[in-house]
Amino acid sequence: MMRLSWRHLRPGELDHELIWLLVSGAAGLLGAAWLALRLPWPRCTFLAVTGLPCLTCGATRSAAAFLQGDLALAWQWNPLVFLGICAVVLFDVYALLVLLTRAPRLRVSLTHPRAGRAVAGTVIVLALLNWGYVLLRS
Ligand SMILES: [Zn+2]
C-alpha cells in the first residue's frame, strides 16, 4: 500500500525538506514570539457561536505547553495538535540532517489505488476521536 524509498533530489525537483523546514521554523519562531510578547490569544469562532469547543480548541495552549517543555500538559490540551507538533519536530530534525549532509531524501509513494482513501479515512477517524476528547474535556 505504501512504499518508502530513499533517493537524491532530481534536477528541478521541488526541495520539500528545505521549504517545509523554513515554513515550520518561521511559524515556530512567530508563535514563540507571539507568546513571549503576551499578545492576545486567538479566539474560537465555533466556540463563541455554539458554546462547544471545536476540533482544534486547546491548540494554542497545547503549543504553549509544548514550548515550555510540559509535554503531558500539551497532550492533555489537544492530543492531535500535540502529535502534529511532534511530527513537525521530527520532520524538521530529519530535514536539517539531510540538508546538512546532502543525504538521500525519504520519499513515500502510495502503491495501491485505495491507499489514499485509507490514509484520508484514518485522518478523519483520528480527528473525530480528538474532537470527542476535546468535547468531553470541556
Ligand atoms: Zn476552537
pLDDT at position 93 over 90:
yes
Residue 116 has pLDDT above 90, yes or no: no
Residue 86 has pLDDT above 90, yes or no: yes
Q: What is the share, in percent, of the chain residues with pLDDT greater than 70? A: 100
CA–centroid distance, 116 to ligand 1, in Å, is 28
Predicted confidence at residue 42, as pLDDT, reads 84
Q: What's the pLDDT score for residue 59?
A: 94
Cα dist from 76 to 31, 47, 120, 121, whole Å: 20, 19, 25, 24
Q: Which of 85, 81, 26 is nearest to 57 (CA)?
A: 81
CA 56–ligand 1 middle distance (angstroms): 5
Domain edges within the chain: 2-137
Q: 117 C-alpha vs ligand 1 centroid, how far in Å?
A: 27
- The Å distance, Cα 79 to ligand 1 centre, comes to 14
Distance from the CA of 72 to the center of ligand 1, in angstroms? Answer: 20
3-state SS, residue 98: helix
Q: What is the tens place of the pLDDT at every residue in 4-57?
A: 999 999 999 999 999 999 999 999 999 889 888 999 988 999 999 999 999 999
Q: Provide the mean pLDDT of the chain.
A: 94
Where helices occur in the chain by DSSP H, the ranges are 16-36, 45-50, 59-67, 71-77, 79-101, 115-137
**Ligand 1: centre distance to CA 26 (Å):** 23
Beta bridge partners of 38: none
